[in-house]
Structure 1
Amino acid sequence: MKKIITLIGLFIVMAGFSQTKNKTADALFDKMWYLEAAKAYEYAIKGGDRSMETLQRAGDSYYFNTDMQQANEKYQLLIAEYPNEVSAEYLFRYAQTLEGIQNYELAKKWLKNFSKKAEASDARKQNFSLQENTIEKIMNLEPQFTLQNLAINSSYSDFGPMFYKGQLIYATSIDSSYAATRRYAWNDQPFLSLQLGKISPSQSDVSHVRRFSNALYSKYHEACVAFSPDENTIYFTRNNYNGKLGRDGKGRNNLKLYSATAVTKDDKTSWENIQELPFNSDEYSVGQPSVSKDGKQLYFVSDMPGTIGSTDIFVVDILGDNKFSQPKNVGDKINTRGREMFPFITDKTLYFASDGHLGLGGLDVFESPIKDGLFEKPVNLGAPLNSNLDDFAYIVNEETNLGFVSSNRKSGKGDDDIYSFERTPICKQQIKGFVFNEITKGKIANATVTLYAANGEKLEETTSGELGEYQFKTPVACSTSYKIEASKQGFTPLVLPVLTQGTSGETVVDLGIKSPLIVKEDGILKIKIGIIFFDLDKSNIRNDAAIELNKVVLLMNEYPEMVIKIESHTDSRARDNYNLILSDKRAKSSRDYIISQGITAERIESAIGYGETKLINNCKNGVPCTEEQHQQNRRSEFIIIKM
């Protein structure tokens, strides 16, 4: 495609394409001279040829040069003319062109149509049909990157940066003075060579120094390099130019990986011992290397046997003396039926470009964190790093969060441009905790917990679990104020302001809510209900008393482990023994009523009347007191023994 069109394109497998009746156009297409082929197919279409093969090839001629507007028009015509015959892959390409022209709403529809028609084994089928994976969510990701177009960019292709001794190696087609008329017919651009750039002190710009190495310079493409940790071994990509540059028997021009060794003499470094890597082949392409931080593994891109999609990321162990283990596909968590390209491996993360995972159009940059030696689910890095066209060849210093990326977005200077970036990682917090009874400290299940932004906007609502635990799924910003409300029937709602932690992780907020029914008096937990009234000299439960006792029943159902004891008391008026007997009857009547409402008898440890033996003021026999003072002594207490 038009980005490293010169290089990425060599990975595109064209086998199985039917020929059309347009021999001239087909010959240009088969040679990958897509600009000229597009003109020839346009002429055929205007002449009345609307065969499926012609429309496919016309669309592809534009698609492979990232002319998404023209490709979109041809694919749209293809689908209109052959709605039932068109393959899932062309539905996918059509959706890609819609993203390329930023018609995301329609792209979403056609990605779903692709998902319906794609084979079950195609991971993209599931990726693009899941409700939680939407283009809108990617577009709404919080921006992490500040990009700057580099001074070294030209109107031609400039891409594929790599760090080297504090400087930058990159590929460009501007240095083709070898033969000014030598142009790559795919996209009518000069051939690629490796250049050395000086990174500015701010690390935001790069100036050209010179050609990187005469020894590594050839008459065709060199690009995409990686270095061993000591920077004494280079791995680089070169197209297979044995014979004439054109298609091989399977319809592609292959890439190969090479290595060379640094030899330093008089402070000058030359590259010697250039040799092919042993897993190259004339039957498939191998390129775009990246070396692990410990120098033990080499990651690369290939369409070799065992590839899941168009191109996959593979890995080999570096054994020394130009010996390597057998290539291993990194697996379908990373690789899809689409294109996975440009790996950059660190000790923490695999970064790569893909159009097989949901993105904003063309290739997007993804990161897959490494946990316990395994790759996590890839995450789209969002705009502005990614755009509606191709974004790829991402490299970063994870200590400084400064790096470089390549893109053919329309705002660039020419074809592919290199951009410097500073990444400000998004700091995210997860709020979690427990809901508990402020008085008893017991955990509270089935409480409603609601998260609000500082401005009062409701963000999420959840329910505490059996052990009182809760966790909001919504990630929130670091060092930011929020409000959390906890509520449950029978409890006083709590609204608590929260300031999240300053670094990514978890903010734990335990929520203590109070029940007006549970109080602590002199260190003793009691169920606090209204006064239970009895008729004079009687112990039967009146309706108004039942209303209050039902509160005890409700609370005991809420806490199935709760055990209580009941104490009834009178004032000092009437005879002492009479008061003792009457209060005991009233305590036992209260107990019997609670049991009649479904509470088991063993959960009421005792029900005893104490008459006037436990007065709470000085209103003893013979002491004049007001009615209000006597009332304080006429009480029933429900004491909590166990929660």
Structure 2
Amino acid sequence: MKQSRMHKITVGLLALGFWTGISQFGYAQEQPSRQQRAAQLYENMEYANAAKAYELVVNKDNPDVEQMERLASSYLYINQYALAENWYARIVEHEKASEQSFWDYAEVLQLQGKYSEAKIAYANYQKKYGDKAEISRAIIGTDSALFWMENPSKHVIMNEQDINTSLSEFGLIPTSGGVLYAAEPNSLLAEKSGMTGQPYLKIYSATRNDDGSLSYPNVMPDSFNESPFHLGPIVTDAKEEVLYVTRTYPGKQVEKYRANGQKWRKQNLELKIYRKQENNWVEEDFAYNNVKEYSVGHAALSTDENTLYFSSDMPGGNGGVDIWFCSKQADGSWGAPVNAGSSINTDGDEVFPSVFDNLLYFSSTGHVGMGGLDIFQARGQRGNFEKPKNLGYPVNSPSDDFSFVVVGDNLDENFGYLSSNRQGGIGADDIYSFRYEKPKITVTLEGMTRDKKTGESLSFTTVSLSDETGKLVSTSSSDDKGAFSFDIDRNTAYLVLADKAGYMADSVSVPGVIPQQDTTIHVVLNLQPVNKVGEKFVLENIYYDFDKHNIRPDAAIILDKLVTTLRNNPTLRIELSSHTDSRGSDSYNKKLSDRRAKSAVDYIVSKGIGADRLVAKGYGETRLVNKCSNGVKCKEAEHQQNRRTEVEVLAF
């Protein structure tokens, strides 16, 4: 099968470089004919000029098939899809039509969103030239495109009309002061590319407004924006002190060879690095440029800036243009290029990488897509990525969609920019902003209230929900089976407290969660009965530091539960007994436990509970709960278990 054409000019520059041809057979004795002139322009890849020339050549009753194919091909390269379709429709009816024309006809139908017609054309190619992987992928793409368009994502796409023109704008990156991007200058004086028929690309800046819209475009006046050929796209580090600029190599050390009776020069792309020094930019070469053999461009930095991704057709790839990466070395230099792997790269082209957190975004012609370049997302880093996901419609379209960059992300949405030459735009390539409203994810807190002593459910128990500042959010009551539930917010911590007459309140802290799907959190609140004289229990998790009697913050939370219980049970009277570990003398520990018991009682009284309802009692080390008596070596955690406070019901 013939190779799929790189109709995207900016990608074509990366895949093919900037070509110039010098005919081996000059026209010394006479001016070239109209046909010879058209052929020369086509071989030089000056497709915009070639299309004009071939229109004059084929303007006759029985035009030559090869000439019509070159005209159609030129229109395809410069994204004039409707004109290309018109000619290919005539060509494929001709018995001398080439294999490439049958493929291009199907492709140009797909690029215009004519998926049913494209599927028929691909099937016709398949019948004529055999079943191949590329054909199967293309046919699947036509079916997938229809599905994606019937089931669009929640992305809202907006054309940034204040910076887009009738020419090309693409490859946006955000900066602290706005944005940078590549664009064709709208100037009559600008030097023009024979390939596109438009001015060579330059780097522009624009203002990014609070709502994400863009305005006030200006060509950058800096030294990095000076080159006779294409410049862009561009990327910068977080401090905006280092720039990585893609440009067409402007020098004479080019790739040279002979083909079709001509000598060829291939001006490949290179990656230039510019470092800020005071008010100037100092230029340096990317260590792995090799303009005599291949192109390098489309740089992107990982979030930690220790990995540099880029696109290249250097040897060792999977085919076409691949995404590669370099790792930053200890001395700050970039290590040798490594291919990003077969999960990302295909026998097609993978270009325009960008990174947000641990997600790599890129565009591809080799994965199943809607047509042209499609935008994909893959989780991972360096050479270890999960299977890429096509972002579907409306991020992607039948045409070329690329330069996808996420600027911000929160729980409710993410937003950023992409570039596309889709129908309905202002110019050839336009910059679009996008916003994606994330699906509403519910978090439910479900719980049970139980009698701590018997384990049985406690019905009709009051349950309150507070935020981490103590502010009451909601109250509820468990049902006849002891069950309750609350709808809670994502990424928010809560305290759940249950209380019931005749029981000591219980509470549990619920940390904030950020789930990826609807989530239910389960809790159990065990309430200690206090409605029987002589009932004894330990206030769990009330501990004291060694040789101290002050109330720690973690102990205050537990004592607050007891305060709630005393308020809700006004006839309840209790003894608070304090216990120490075995370290220290017996008499000292007795005095220390008295101070600790009194400290706990004083804390409760400070919360408004009458002192006559509380008795403080210190038992020292006379009631140890483990083996850690005098002279026994124990861990600190074991000693802390003995430093505790117990409650005994004296009256109810």
Residue range with higher mean Cα deviation, 42-51 or 295-304: 42-51
Aligned pairs (5 A) from 1:134-533: 134-150=144-160, 151-174=162-185, 180-209=189-218, 211=220, 213-243=222-252, 252-264=266-278, 269-319=279-329, 323-370=333-380, 374-400=384-410, 401-425=414-438, 504-505=516-517
**Deviation (angstroms), 1:67:** 0.7
Which of the numbers 88, 111, 114 marks the counterpart of 1:103? 114
2:8–2:79 Cα contact (<8 Å) kept: no
Q: CA deviation at 1:235?
A: 0.8
The 1-side partners of 2:53 and 2:239 are apart by 51
For residues 424-460 of structure 1, the C-alpha deviation after alignment (integer angstroms, 9 at most, x for no partner) is 245699xxxxxxxxxxxxxxxxxxxxxxxxxxxxxxx
Query: Are the structure 2 counterparts of residues 247 and 425 from structure 1 closer, same or farther at C-alpha, using a change threshold of 3 Å?
Result: farther
Q: Distance in 1 between matches of 2:242 and 2:344?
A: 27
Deviates more, 1:344-353 or 1:244-253: 244-253
Q: Give distance in 1, aligned partners of 2:96 and 2:440.
A: 46
Change (3 A) 1:239 1:321: farther
Write the distance in 1 (CA, Å) between the matches of 2:389 and 2:197: 35
Task: Name the CA distance, whole Å, in 1 between partners of 2:409 and 2:341.
Answer: 28
Is this contact kept in 2: 1:143–1:383, CA < 8 A?
yes
| Compared CA separation, residues 129 and 184, structure 1 to 2 (3 A) | closer
**Contact 2:364–2:374 under 8 Å retained in 1:** yes
Distance 1:325 1:421 in 2: 35
Query: Counterpart of 1:404 in 2: which secondary structure?
Result: strand
Residue 314 of structure 2 aligns with an amino acid whose one-letter code is M
Shift of 1:41: 2.4
SS of the residue aligned with 1:80? coil
Q: Which runs of 4+ in 1 moved over 4 A?
A: 1-4, 48-52, 82-85, 112-120, 129-133, 243-252, 320-323, 426-429
Q: Secondary structure in 2 aligned to 1:324? A: coil
CA deviation map 1:269-288 (0-9, x unaligned)? 53213334333322222111
Tell me the secondary structure at the aligned position of residue 331 of structure 1. Answer: coil
Output the CA distance in 2 between the equivalents of 1:245 and 1:57.
26
Alpha-carbon distance in 1 for matches of 2:181, 2:157: 17
Q: Which letter maps to 2:120? A: K
The one-letter code matched in structure 2 to 1:11 is: A
- CA–CA distance in structure 2, aligned partners of residues 42 and 271 of structure 1: 46
SS in 2 for 1:300: strand
Deviations 1:32-54 (A, max 9, x none): 22122112223333346755543
CA contact (8 A) 1:175 1:192 kept: no
d(CA) in 1 for partners of 2:271 and 2:62? 42
5+ long unaligned stretches in structure 1: 430-478, 480-500, 509-643
Cα distance change of structure 1 residues 372 and 334 upon mapping to structure 2, 3 Å threshold: closer
The verdict on how the C-alpha distance between 1:10 and 1:113 changes in structure 2, with shifts beyond 3 A counting, is same
Contact 1:339 1:356 in 2 (8 A): yes
| TM score, norm. by length of structure 2 | 0.58
- Which stretches in structure 2 are left out of the alignment for 5+ residues? 24-32, 258-262, 443-489, 491-512, 521-652
Q: For 1:107 and 1:244, how far apart are their aligned partners in 2?
A: 43
- Counterpart residue type for residue 417 of structure 1: D
Q: Which moved more, 1:324-333 or 1:4-13?
A: 4-13
Is contact 1:31–1:247 with CA below 8 Å preserved after alignment? no
Shift of 1:374: 2.7
- Cα 1:251–1:274 change in 2 (3 A) is closer
The Cα shift of 1:166 comes to 4.6
Q: Which residue of 2 aligns with 1:34?
A: 47
Number of the residue aligned with 1:86: 99
**TM-score, with normalisation over the residues of structure 1?**
0.59
Question: Matched residue of 1:190: which SS?
Answer: coil
- Structure 2 counterpart SS, 1:287: strand
CA shift in 2, pair 1:372/1:310, >3 Å: closer
Cα 1:84–1:156 change in 2 (3 A) is closer
SS class of match (2:267): coil
Q: Which residue of the partner structure matches residue 59 of structure 2? A: 46
Instruction: Give the number of aligned pairs.
Output: 428
- CA distance, structure 2, for counterparts of residue 113 and residue 306 of structure 1: 34
Contact 1:11 1:311 in 2 (8 A): yes
1:335–1:428 distance in 2 versus 1, CA, 3 Å? farther
Q: Does the Cα contact within 8 Å between 2:206 and 2:215 map onto a contact in 1?
A: yes
Match of 1:5 among 5, 9, 22: 9
SS in structure 2 at match of 1:124: helix
How far, CA to CA, are the matches of 1:167 and 1:342 in structure 2?
Answer: 20
Amino acid of the residue matched to residue 109 of structure 1?
A: I
CA distance in 2, matches of 1:23, 1:321: 55
Q: Contact conserved, 1:41 with 1:54, CA < 8 A, in 2?
A: yes
Contact 1:6/1:186 (<8 A) preserved: no
Which residue identity lines up with residue 331 of structure 1 in the other structure? G
C-alpha contact 1:157 1:416 (8 A) present in aligned 2:
yes
